[in-house]
Chain A
Amino acid sequence: MRTGVYVCHCGTNIAGTIDVHALIGYAGSLPGVALAREYKYMCSDPGQELIRQDICDYKLDRVVVAACSPHLHEKTFRQAVEQAGLNPFYCHMVNLREHDSWVHADKPAATEKAMDLVRAAVRRVKWHVPLERRQVPVHAEVLVVGGGIAGIDAALTLANAGKHVYLVEREPTIGGHMAQFDKTFPTLDCAACILTPKMTAVKAHRNITLWTYSEVRQVEGYVGNYSVTVRRKPRYVIEKLCVGCLECIQACVYKQAKVPDPFNLGLSKRKPVYIPFPQAVPQVVAIDPETCIEFKSGKCKKTCVEVCAERNAIDFKQQAEIQTIQVGAIILATGFDVFDGARIPYYGYGLYPNVYTALEIERLVNASGPTGGEVVLRDGRKPASVGIVHCVGSRDLHTNRYCSRVCCMYSLKLAHLIKEKTGADVYNFYIDIRAPGKAFEEFYNRVAEEGVVFVRGKAADVYPAGNGDGRLIVQAEDTLLGMIRKIPVDMVVLATGLEPRADANDVRRLFNIGCSGDGFFLERHPKLAPVNTFADGIFLAGCCQGPKDIPDTVAQSGAAAAQALALIDAGVVELEPNTAHVLEDACSGCKTCLPLCPYSAISFVEEKKARINEVLCKGCGTCVAACPSGSIRQNLFEDEEIFEEIDGLLASAAVGGGPVRIQGDL
């Protein structure tokens, strides 16, 4: 055995804590090690070249690279080894950085641990056997989940590249939150004017299959070959037959709209047969079975059916439809939920009628909103003073620790719009104004110039003035003045933050991806793989990954589309060979492994043996550990490899005769 050991300094990331010279001196003395070297950045081109040259010059047959996490550079080093003519799986990495130098402060102890880790790797790698990667073809279609601006943009980009896209949206229309906004900061262009052309483009695109009022129920398969089950909920209207004339809404036996309209956040009413908003896509009505008389009593006159006449689009018997599609890649663009203002009791949302959320104000200022664009209180009066409370449900460990990123800017925008429409005095109660985008600071300046007042202090309390004038007091410390201010206002606007969707956890499990501590979906790498997930072939776009504004969302959806395109355009995908396989002669057919496999990769075959589909297997090792007869083995995790690694790790403890010392994760 001729093993080469390569220790990376990673600048001072590793070398600042671990005595690298001592480490290579030690590594060089281990049995089977032909040479040990150090280098400042092993992953650099000269670093890789060093390995390649050594393999040729010194006839190395195994390589151990002690550097960072295999997540980052296993590919790099395997490739370097392969280029020098060795099987790439003869290379093994030791994670000195994350498992040692970054988590320890005691330098001698960290160096000792590094020696243990390197010794373990040197002993393990000699058992490695050559492995081959498999190639499988990929489906050229892409699934986009969520029809807000992120999903719309990703779908259009892929469709324009000639790829077929399934766009699945839970609501009866696409458009998402952006469709509810009035103007967009900082340019004040109308959200609908820039969004609706994209919505109609989706509907018209021959490469896009648009399924609204539909939800993904099941996801199976693997990168390049996902099989997805979608449930199309009954809208009780046959989409193909409805022409969007809206005559049924007019004809409904409900003369007055009675049901709170979710699109307007309950600020207006709708009928049981409805279209979410005038520019909805598709222009197809839906019937709400919870409120429709026909569903409740079966005795409605069905004036809607009468007026629909020969078009015959209404179908009270419509059932949910299950569709299964095959796609190569999936883009998740499931968006966000608005923080529920009632969770902070001292702001009085839900208690005092004139406390609103920012999204409600978006609807009020919107010309197609419940008041036709008039900013008025619930009793119809125009407010003479308005307080905007920032950071509601953001930057607070009682709710969400993170900054929601968009609230400062939309608060400035709403301040401008409210002032423009009502001439009211507008007070912003803020902690910090965060205006870091293009033309944001300039917009802040403009709004300040317009006379919007800024009180630097987190609003501490909102309560009725108590003198019968119906006003509310916003109480805060003006931290710049060093005094407590109690400002009477007619209207309070809560700048509510952005949260993960209430069912984000279910969606996460459905697609087998992770989430970060705040509950948003986790990207593969915060800087270098911001739209990838740890599930190959599943990408993220928009606010499901974290709060962001429209420009950032669109940039991200473009990136997600490009990643999906790169995957499906290659035509094939390479699968890692670290999969499990059954030694069929030894298998007793006990079926223990079958229900344990999270990927349904194990089947039971005629000859009464378990068989693992290597394409479905992700190499998690559950079946390997569970098999009572020890007849399931796993590439790169063979028993000899693991035991030798453990023995190597604990060898120093055995020699010294002292207590076994285990530091960090093995």
Chain B
Amino acid sequence: MGTCEVTLESLPRYPEGKEILTCIQCGACSGTCPYGEVMDYPPRRMIAMMRAGMLEKVFTSDSLLACVACYACMAKCPRGIRLTEILLPLMKEQTLTHLPELPGELQKALQNTLRYGNPMGEPSRKRAAWVKTAGVPIRILAEDPRPADALWFVECYTSFYPRGQDNSRATARLFHRLGIDFAILGNEEKCAGECGRLTWEPGLFETLMDYNMAVFQKYRFNRLVTSCPHAHNAFKNRYPALGFNWGLEHTTPFLAKYLDRLKPLLARKLDCTVTYHDSCCLGRQNEFYEAPRQLLQAIPGVKLVEMVHNRMNAICCGGGGGGMWLDTYFKAKGYERLSERRVREAVATGADVLAVSCPYEVSRFEDALKVAGYDKQMVVRDVTELLAEAMED
């Protein structure tokens, strides 16, 4: 079954729908939801309304817009109800169609993604422009279509956004030094589309899936590596319905597999205290908790400390499920920014580096540190950036 086709009407016929009937209304979902306090209908209440046949009321509230698709409710549900995977996106879709108008920032991002293949609205012909600054050769398949071991799916923020490009340059240098046979799609690449799905736009998502699959099929490679946990999610859970059957890795766990070869390269001592923020998609959704920590601990001079909420209990940066483009909307509603809640925990550890594994988080946390006045005492770095920094002679 491709869960893409499930609708609210057809849901009761699927096992995922039957699970919802087993809800014991314990409220663990709402209790752990980072926006549980501000929602009129947090997940438990939403299920109760659904079972009472009163969903219309839920749709006319904008509650579900606050769902940042962080998987926290799903991770703690004692009945294993697939809230983030199935139910919440369906609810969100209905909520958005009931809204008098779509929040402007979100509307713009979705339009951009459809038109340019990235939410920032950057021209697609400049997608590979960063490659020239990498300092190491990067093969673009359109120019040199020989088979590659790893197809590196760079993704949007890491292609266009300057701080995202830092991550890409670091990744390229690491791949190069490790002798990995890799290539990228360059300007042919478009957003994997996971954000589109979770922000209710299934049509947009399917367009992007069809496009990317057609590009993949032009080339020969063994596995796909991406530094974006959201893209990883899409390739893992959605693309297989369209025939995606290549190996799939996220950069961080991928690099952790090369730890033995990487360690001798990490010659430079960094002397810093690092706390690691578990990305929701990489952590709760894929349980890659230890790989990023192993990498960080392999860096000389790094002292790793933990935030109060870590691993499966980590607090979301607020960027998932479309939250990346709802900051203005949330602010107007008076919601606390989750990235600010998170950096306060990070600062409380006494660390001077907040390490991340998701391209959304760099900009979100750097911004939050500035707003909360902590930008002098803490910096945000992707794990790959730290590794590359430690590798430089």
Contacts and interface: CB of A to CB of B under 8 A. Distances in A.
A334 to B, nearest CB: 28
Nearest to B42: A477
Q: Point out which of A395, A396, A431, A460 has the most chain B C-beta atoms below 10 A from its C-beta.
A: A460
A397 B32 contact: no
A476 B27 contact: yes
B50 to A, nearest CB: 15
Contact of B31 (A396, A432, A457): A457
B84 to A, nearest CB: 15
A460 B24 CA distance: 14
A395 B308 contact: no
Interface residues of A, number: 26
Given A346-B313, A395-B78, A397-B78, A458 B308 contact: no
A483 B27 CA distance: 10
Interface in A449-466: 456-461, 463-464, 466
A463 B309 contact: yes
B27 A466 contact: no
A484 interface: yes
Nearest to A477: B27
Interface in B303-328: 308-309, 311-313
A457 B27 contact: yes
Given A395-B24, A461-B31, A477 B36 contact: yes
B338 to A, nearest CB: 15
Nearest to B39: A484
A477 B31 contact: yes
B20 to A, nearest CB: 14
Contact of A479 (B44, B311, B313): B44
A571 interface: no
A482 interface: yes
Interface in B59-81: 76, 78-80
A404 B392 CA distance: 56
Interface string A527-540: 00000000000000
A438 interface: no
Given A345-B313, A431-B24, A479-B26, A459 B31 contact: yes
B149 interface: no
A459 B28 CA distance: 6
B367 to A, nearest CB: 23
Interface string A118-155: 00000000000000000000000000000000000000
A96 B342 CA distance: 61
A398 B44 contact: no
B313 A475 contact: no
B30 A484 contact: yes
Interface in A423-477: 431-432, 456-461, 463-464, 466, 475-477
Contacts of B336: none
Nearest to B79: A397
Given A460-B32, A466-B348, A346 B76 contact: yes
Contacts of A398: 78, 80
Interface in B279-335: 308-309, 311-313
Given A346-B312, A477-B42, A484 B78 contact: no
Contacts of B348: 466
Most buried by B among A456, A457, A463, A483: A457
Contacts of B76: 346, 460
Interface string A63-95: 000000000000000000000000000000000
Given A458-B26, A464-B308, A466-B348, A476 B79 contact: no
Interface string B21-42: 0001111111110001100001
Nearest to A431: B26
Given A396-B78, A466-B348, A479 B27 contact: yes
Point out which of A456, A457, A458, A475 has the most chain B C-beta atoms below 10 A from its C-beta.
Answer: A458
B28 A460 contact: yes
Given A391-B26, A395-B24, A459-B31, 4 more contacts: A346-B76, A391-B78, A461-B32, A479-B26
8 contacts: A391-B78, A397-B80, A456-B27, A457-B27, A466-B348, A477-B27, A477-B42, A479-B27
**Sorted from nearest, which 5 A-B pairs have the closest CB atoms?**
A460-B31, A477-B27, A396-B78, A458-B26, A460-B32
